[in-house]
């Protein structure tokens, strides 16, 4: 799997938040129900995003989470790195520690350029772009497809 499940869940949730940005907090309960993700599990994942200030949270009634800046300023890469770390973008295809230009493995050159394309793709795409696309074309972000962008 390219992205961990946690990361995928984080992306789905932040896409939803980006589609809906009005300054209000959205409760994690609501997110978890709309996205069909376990509430407690999603809570833990989103805590990682608030920990790196990609999101803000507020406890209590009317509380919840929201993006800490415009979804246009948050890229898919920001979310991926916050949850899965840099591994995907730095790791050797043969799993060798310290694989790089100085001490490469046979696959290094090829793999490094593929990795860069992945990075470029994630880095050049904002949450808002994807959320707008999903909204406009009514695309799925859940398995059952019951989710609607409203």
Of 13, 17, 18, 65, the one binding DNA by CB under 7 A: 65
C-alpha to C-alpha distance for 32 and 28, rounded to whole angstroms: 6
Q: How far is the CB of 31 from DNA (least distance, A)?
A: 7
Phi (first) and psi of residue 147, to 5 degrees: -55, 135
Whichever of 25 and 81 has its CB closer to a copy of itself, that residue is 81
Of 58, 94, 110, 121, the one binding DNA by CB under 7 A: 58
Partner touching 54 among a copy of itself, DNA, none, CB below 5 to 8 Å by kind? none
Tell me how far apart the alpha carbons of residues 71 and 61 are, in angstroms, rounded to a whole number: 24
43, 68, 125, 132: which one contacts DNA (CB under 7 A)? 43
Residue 91 touches which of DNA, a copy of itself, none (Cβ within 5-8 Å per kind): a copy of itself
Dist. CA 129–CA 138, nearest whole Å: 14
Exposure letters 98-132 (e unless 16+ CB within 10 A, then b): ebeeeebeeebeebbeebeeebeebbeebbbbbbb
Q: How far is CA 79 from the centre of its chain?
A: 4
Element (H, E) at 56: strand 55-58
Q: How far is the CB of 121 from a copy of itself (least distance, A)?
A: 5
Choice between 11 and 126, CB closer to DNA: 11
Give the nearest distance from C-beta 32 to DNA in angstroms.
8
Nearer to DNA, 44 or 69 (CB): 44
């Amino acid at each position: 799997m390219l992205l961990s499940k946690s990361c995928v869940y984080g992306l789905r949730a932040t896409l939803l938040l980006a589609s809906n940005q009005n300054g209000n907090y959205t409760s994690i309960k609501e997110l978890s129900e709309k996205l069909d993700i376990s509430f407690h599990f999603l809570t833990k994942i989103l805590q990682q995003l608030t920990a790196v200030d990609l999101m803000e949270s507020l406890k209590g009634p009317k509380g919840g989470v929201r993006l800490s800046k415009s979804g246009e300023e948050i890229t898919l890469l920001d979310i991926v790195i916050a949850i899965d770390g840099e591994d995907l973008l730095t790791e050797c295809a043969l799993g060798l520690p310290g694989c790089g230009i100085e001490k490469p493995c046979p696959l290094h050159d090829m793999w490094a350029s593929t990795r860069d394309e992945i990075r470029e793709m994630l880095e050049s795409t904002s949450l808002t772009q994807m959320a707008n696309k999903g909204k406009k074309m009514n695309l799925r972000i859940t398995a059952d497809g019951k989710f609607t962008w409203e």
